[in-house]
Amino acid sequence: MMKSGFITTTLMKVFAACLMALPVLVMVSLIYPNPPSDRMEGFAAARISKGRAQNVTPVGVGLKDDSSPPSVNMPKDKLLGGLLHAGFDEGSCLSRYQSFLYRKNSPHRPSSYLLSRLRSYEDLHKRCGPHTKSYNKTVERLKSGHNNGPTECSYVVWLSFSGLGNRILTMASAFLYALLTNRVLLVDPGNDMANLFCEPFPETSWILPLDFTFKNQFNSFDQNSPHCYGNMLKNNIINTSTESLPSFLYLHLVHDYNEHDKQFFCDQDQTLLGKVPWLIIKTDNYFVPSLFLIPSFEKELGNLFPNKEFVFHHLGRYLFHPSNQVWGLITRYYQAYLAKADERIGIQIRNFDSGTGPFQYVMDQILACTLKEKLLPEVKKQESIVTPSKKQISKAVIMTSLISGYFENLRNMYWEHPTVTGEVIGVYQPSHEEYQQTEKQLHNRKAWTEMYLLSLTDVLVTSSWSTFGYVAQGLGGLKPWILYKPENRTAPDPPCHRAMSMEPCFHAPPFYDCKAKTGIDTGAVVRHVRHCEDMSWGLKLIDGHDEL
């Protein structure tokens, strides 16, 4: 009996001890759900599970089969290497912090100095932006017409002009100039740019207020305007020794500018312009390469951009974020037609010959380039079926053109015939507007959508002279194959060549030595400013550090 009681007592003690240990065991199991030897594997699995729970699937990383998760180890650079300010309301501009999901991480990192200067500029814009105390004070001086010495804030006003590709490139040019001269950039978007872009600067706007002085006169500004800088130089109204300067100057930097207008790119003229609080600029040129030839900007530009060919790549991704309306067009199209492909190929067609087309010589050139460079596979016209390989590769081709004929021809070729490689080729075109309609908001919305979609591709083919293509290659960080400009309606041989850099071309640069006051080849002054591949007299930036 005593033995039985002892056993009962012992069992009760063991049972009580188990009850006391149970919470500890549960806690341990929660912390370490796998055995110690599997602990690292369990951590990776937890990261995958977390990614799924948040529904974060990096677009552009195609899933090989339904059971394979997205690559959770791929870096997700939401702020684009520090280019973007972290303090925006994400819902107001979804593209700002979602764009990294739709393209590969850029290997081209912005310099720490550029990041510092961008943060400083944002502070300046917040302090001097529209309707601030400093802005209002400077506007009052503008209204008076008197320039009584330095002001707390000075400005560059960008006027909307030319096609959308030109506008994007010139806004970036004007912003870089503002950065170099400690000015605030304000843009006058005109009547056809509403709902295209998000505001790029935090807690303020870059839009010129509707009640701005002289706003109703912008359309009349040209080379003969009384306040045109080139015109004033021509008539000896102003020069580098002038003491009484106007409160504003109009800078005519359009492709038809004359030798006096071009003096904007002279160092001594920059000293004079620095004393004028308001500069109003109209241009259809990406004039950045010539800024690199102004001695007083040389050191600052070298610090900002140690690698010269990434200027628009960094500034474009910093400034131009599609509005929610445009972002919806971009993401829906991408998901429907491009996301699942193993490779995405962009082909941008702009033909400057008279007539609407499609032209057979252009189609021949497109095929000659893409097949010669092995961007697209040949087809077997004598066979109807080719046995696919075990790992069938799919390529999505997005074509942009004002007309649909080139898209239809390429689509039909890959629909009607199998490829020699067994690859599956899908060909798509978002829109075909037939002709350029610069003044229409819907046309510009589609154009911006297509530029951005092209920038999301892995490989890009563009047309010579086209700013549409320049924007796409710069945003995407792509060195495109450029289609040579056809002559006499004949497909050129060779059909295309690889760009030496992703930078846009300055189509109408000055060929002028400011000191010697004579003509000079500005494409042979420094190593990092060269003539363009697609326009022999144009200038573009390439990667180079040492002067000749």
Those residues whose C-beta lies under 8 Å from the C-beta of residue 457, and which sit 6 or more positions away, are: 338, 344, 345, 346, 398, 476, 478
Top-confidence residue, 282 or 355: 282
pLDDT tens digits for range 385-410: 766 666 789 999 999 999 999 999 99
Please, what's the largest Cα pairwise distance for the chain?
126
SS (H, E, C) 125-192: HHHHCCCCHHHHHHHHHHHHCCCCCCCCCCEEEEECCCCHHHHHHHHHHHHHHHHHHCCEEEEECCCC
> Over the chain, what is the mean pLDDT?
86
Q: What predicted TM-score, i.e. pTM, was given to this entire model?
A: 0.85
Binning pLDDT at 50, 70 and 90, where does residue 516 land?
confident
- pLDDT at position 506 is 98
Minimal CA–CA distance to 172: which of 23, 311, 278, 363?
Answer: 311
- pLDDT at position 150 is 83
Top-confidence residue, 322 or 546: 322
d(CA 273, CA 229): 9
Percent of the chain with pLDDT over 70: 83
59-63, 127-131, 370-374: range with lowest mean pLDDT: 59-63
Mean pLDDT calculated for residue range 20-41: 38
13-17, 86-90, 94-98, 171-175: range with lowest mean pLDDT: 13-17
- Please, what sign has the CA dihedral across residues 471, 323, 181, 106? negative
Top-confidence residue, 462 or 41: 462
> What is the phi-psi region of residue 22: left when phi exceeds 0, alpha when psi lies from -120 to 50, beta otherwise?
alpha
How far lies 366's CA from each of 194, 218, 462, in Å? 34, 41, 10
- Write down all domains in the chain, each with its CATH number in brackets: 112-306 (no CATH), 324-541 (3.40.50.11350)
Name the phi and psi angles at 348, rounded to 5: -110, 120
pLDDT tens digits for range 83-126: 999 989 999 999 999 999 998 888 899 999 999 999 999 999 99
d(CA 208, CA 83): 24
- pLDDT at position 331 is 98
Q: Do 451 and 421 touch, CB atoms closer than 8 A?
A: no
pLDDT tens digits for range 398-445: 999 999 999 999 999 999 999 999 999 999 999 876 666 666 788 899
